[in-house]
């Protein structure tokens, strides 16, 4: 088990998709998601889809992943309107698959 996992408890991974008016910025549309993830100390990625949703994966200490899930469901970026957030493949992991949180294109 990594030092991070020992220090913070269980590590979790979860996939997400955010529905609504969520692709509102033409430049770095996911910059707010990336900023929030980095502020919370979780890792993973975010990407716009061709269907107008935002999708990605978050990994980190369970408490921090839960905080990110709440942000993705209720807050989002300024001017966004979140209709629904779907979470899938939530599981406990033994180590992080990513070293940072970034936007994929």
Domain range summary for the chain, segments of one domain joined by +: 11-103
pLDDT number for residue 4 = 46
Task: Compute the average pLDDT of residues 18-28.
Answer: 62
CB within 8 Å of 86: residues ≥ 6 apart: 16, 17, 19
Whole-prediction pTM? 0.84
**More reliable by pLDDT, 32 or 11:** 11
| Per-residue pLDDT tens over the stretch 24-63 | 544 345 788 899 999 999 999 999 888 888 899 999 999 9
Give 69-100 pLDDT, tens digit per residue. Answer: 999 998 877 777 888 999 999 999 999 999 99
The rounded Cα 74 to chain-centroid distance in angstroms is 13
User: If you classify domain 11-103 with CATH, what class do you get?
Assistant: alpha beta
| Cβ-based neighbour number of residue 73 at 10 Å | 15
Residue 15 has pLDDT above 80, yes or no: yes
d(CA 48, CA 7): 33
Beta strand ranges found along 1-105 (DSSP E): 11-21, 43-48, 54-61, 81-93, 101-103
């Amino acid at each position: 088990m990594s030092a991070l996992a020992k220090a913070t408890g269980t590590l979790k991974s979860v996939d997400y998709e955010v529905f609504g008016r969520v692709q509102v910025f033409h430049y770095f549309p996911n910059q707010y998601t990336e900023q929030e993830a980095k502020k919370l100390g979780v890792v993973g990625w975010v990407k716009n889809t061709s269907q107008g949703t935002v999708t990605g994966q978050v990994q980190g200490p369970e408490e921090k992943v839960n905080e990110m899930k709440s942000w993705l469901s209720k807050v989002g970026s300024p001017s966004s309107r979140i209709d629904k957030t779907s979470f899938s493949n939530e599981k406990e992991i033994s180590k992080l698959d990513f070293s940072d949180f970034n936007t994929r294109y």
